[in-house]
Structure 1
């Protein structure tokens, strides 16, 4: 029995991660900044989403326990396949959700860095023209 997986979702997250790296590089290079309050709201929303994903992860504990689909080789194989799809490896539901939290943490950090960049630029401008 083939194990269902969430490789396509993982690929989507990888694309989002690349976009986030590009934004982070733009912030570092001084090409991207955000008003600090906007950046903080965006970062806070990312953190809220991380918390929501954590609640989903908590609910996966039950899925990680093998269920009975019959006391025979096919039944045991089905039980293991469903368990593996839920919690085993990066292409499991758990793996994808954990990776999404990582992407969201990095996005929050990038937003905050963009907010700091704008605040620093504003402060530098004030000092220059004072």
Structure 2
């Protein structure tokens, strides 16, 4: 006889699965009739039934969304951007031979300077 861990039932009934949360977000994007949308952290907490959004959870949801052809990006101003992958199909190509023919000669510090990220976004 196989016995189940009672905590498994508790955890399964308390929170929807990561796949369910990703599915809810994908349907939310689809129902918006847009190819991109912003979703607040509050909306994600509501859809996931969680009061706290841990980084591991957000990463798992992002990975599950990719399986549904939705790209998720955390925004600087808070919340997340949802983008239908199909919206990126027509994006113009960025070719190394046209934009960075000398990439082998460029030191990392020069690349970082050109990227011009705010100091709080650079993990060094």
> TM-score normalised to the size of structure 2?
0.27
- Of Structure 1 and Structure 2, which has the larger fraction of its residues in strand? 2
> TM-score normalised to the size of structure 1?
0.26
Per chain length, whose mean CA-contact separation is higher, i.e. which structure has more relative contact order (CA < 8 Å, sep 6+)? 1
